[in-house]
Structure 1
Amino acid sequence: MRLTSEFWVAALVRRINNSGAFAALSHKGAAEAGAIFIKFRNTDGTYDLFGPAPQMVYDETKPNERLFTPLKASVAEADINDDLDKQKRWDRDLWIVEIEDYRGDRTDLFPVAEG
């Protein structure tokens, strides 16, 4: 059984904040199953955007795990915000989590799909 978006986001924000990085919810979506997007601030001031990975990348042994795929990398914040605003017009149920980690290493913060 897959965790609800609300529960998963709350756990992510808590875990990241407890790790010494910073995470905040900037848009609250549908509690049960809203899509989750991650806006990640890089150490150089640029941003990366991650969204839900396509179903075809999920492993049969972990079909309920949430995976993310890179959508944009090392761009200005305004570019990310424009994309997220367009996405919100199409899907008001989405969640947006903003993360800052000045270690510059997001590998242990949230799962990104391989390949």
Structure 2
Amino acid sequence: MRIRSDIFVSALIRRVFSAGGFAAVVQKGAEEAGAIFIRQRFRDGLESVYGPAPQTFARDDDGARRFEARLAQAEASAVDAVIAREARFDSDLWVIELELDAIGDLFEIVKPDTN
């Protein structure tokens, strides 16, 4: 069973603050199972956005949430467009904004197999 969205978000925000960064909930989604999108802002004005990884990366035994990079170091308008497109399909999504130089091990980022 996967951890609830509201609990994951709360824990993520605490971890970001303890790492010296800033985090905020920009849009609150469904508490139990809302999709979570993470928007990372950099000092140079560029942004990255991470969204839920495809189900092929899910494991039944650990309940962890995994993310994939949707855009890396792009203009804010491109990130806005990605989030708006996702919100048209799922109005219960969460948007979390981070101001942090490096993600580190705050959440798991999967890389698609290119083979």
TM-score normalised per structure 1: 0.88
CA distance in 2: counterparts of 1:107 and 1:59, whole angstroms: 22
Q: Structure 1 vs Structure 2: percent identity of aligned residues?
A: 38
Structure 1 equivalent of residue 104 of structure 2? 107
What amino acid maps onto 2:55 in structure 1? Q
Long gaps (5+) in structure 2: none
CA distance in 2: counterparts of 1:114 and 1:76, whole angstroms: 22
CA distance in 2: counterparts of 1:86 and 1:61, whole angstroms: 31
Structure 2 equivalent of residue 58 of structure 1? 58
What amino acid maps onto 2:23 in structure 1? A
After the TM superposition, which residues 1-115 of structure 1 pair with which residues of structure 2 at under 5 Å, given as runs?
Answer: 1-59=1-59, 62=62, 64-101=63-100, 104-115=101-112
The change in CA–CA distance for 1:29 and 1:108 in structure 2 (over 3 A counts) is: same
Task: Provide the aligned C-alpha RMSD in A.
Answer: 1.5
CA distance in 1: counterparts of 2:15 and 2:43, whole angstroms: 20
Render the CA deviation track for 1:44-92: whole Å, top value 9, x for unaligned: 2201110000111235653x11010011111111111122122112211
What amino acid maps onto 2:77 in structure 1? A
Number of residue-to-residue matches in the alignment = 112
Long gaps (5+) in structure 1: none
TM-score normalised per structure 2: 0.88
